Structure 1
């Protein structure tokens, strides 16, 4: 069970987020604060696993508070909750676990709580999730590598597909194949890399082999089919002796 702190200068926003968090079975205690200084006072009395911080609070902002606690030996995880998309880059430079936009959706919050739980349970010294800077409509955004379900080649560019959107980056697919192999990405076609944990079904015995990732059906080329079969065989559960 996670202990968390919600800090926002608007009390209704505090209570709404605290209510949503309290409905998640992974959350135990929810502390509340209506200012950055109030959050520091709570942290002086209680150990918490994660902070859910509004960015724009008068006096001590959420970003300033995150910088202060980052200097501690074992700082809690930080999640920024805001209506402002422009601070995402700065937020992730502070090693934020996530960046939630208001109004917070229950499904999206559940994903964030899962990420906090994984971070808390991770062994000391575990490598953090890689963050990727992307441009969308002239706005720089940060997405997590573990959000990317598959990647599609588009000339010298690659399009990263997540559950919510897709993003074009100026990196060839071949470079990403090498860079992200250890993160579970596998080449299945000259135009596609797929993150294996997101594969929901496979059609490998048909005339046109394919894999399904969410609602997308991606082709598997004959050239890459043996490697895909080998990967599946390595992860197959076998009966014990």
Structure 2
């Protein structure tokens, strides 16, 4: 389970990371010290679970949770607070649970078991995302996880996937909006599956190319999208 920790107190983050290292199924992807940083990392890393401090200066945890819940596949959220009265607010925001500081290993394990049950549903949703297309008058579909990339082809969009290709009527922009957690734009004419990215190659002439798992060709990265691509890797 991939985890993001959000708390404005460095010591609190360190303690939670230390407690989480006892569970080998947990991977701490990153830390954030404020709400804005949390939203950037959440959209970039798409974690399964976020431990989110309620009391932070600027954008507090409840405001961050509202933003996270609007994502296509929002992460599970466990609120962290020194004030138990925030529990009601947490439940209203469909939180998977809450922890009261100082966090004990016992309370953490109890919450993780609860999140594990909820997360199975979350993972199932991710696995069931499919894209439909027409082939010889027959409606077919392909799992988003099997897609390599999309490229603009005149009035259509070409979809390259494991074992074939197809033409779609959706534009690249429409696909970006439909699958924001799965797709990365590398060029005005190209979107790639984030999960298929192996490496970003720099050429002697200053150009950059993306290498995808299962794809024999390297795809060009535009200068305009280079920074975003680097941040996503």
Partner of 1:107: 106
Q: Does 1:122 align with 2:126?
A: no
Distance 2:85 2:74 in 1: 25
SS at match of 2:42: helix
Q: Does 1:9 align with 2:8?
A: yes
Partner of 1:46: 45
The number of residue pairs the alignment matches comes to 125
Q: Unpaired runs of 5+ in structure 2?
A: 126-233
Higher relative contact order (CA 8 A, sep 6+): 2
Partner of 1:190: none
Partner of 1:70: 69
- CA drift at 1:25: 2.1
Distance 2:62 2:119 in 1: 21
In the TM superposition, what whole-angstrom CA distance separates every residue of 1:34-65 from its partner, at most 9, and x where no partner exists?
Answer: 11111112113212001101101011100000
- CA drift at 1:32: 0.7
Q: Which runs of 4+ in 1 moved over 4 A?
A: 123-126
Contact 1:49 1:120 in 2 (8 A): yes
Partner of 1:19: 18
Q: Does 1:58 align with 2:40?
A: no
Contact 2:48 2:76 in 1 (8 A): yes
Distance 1:73 1:89 in 2: 25
Distance 1:123 1:70 in 2: 13
SS at match of 2:36: helix
- CA drift at 1:29: 3.0
Give the CA RMSD over aligned residues: 1.8
- CA drift at 1:112: 0.9
Distance 2:4 2:123 in 1: 22
Distance 1:73 1:123 in 2: 11
Distance 2:43 2:122 in 1: 25
- CA drift at 1:92: 0.3
Contact 1:77 1:96 in 2 (8 A): yes
Q: 1:113 to 1:90 in 2, by over 3 A?
A: same
Distance 1:48 1:123 in 2: 11
Q: 1:28 to 1:124 in 2, by over 3 A?
A: closer
SS at match of 1:79: strand
Contact 2:5 2:28 in 1 (8 A): no
Show the 5 A alignment for 1:1-241.
Answer: 2-122=1-121
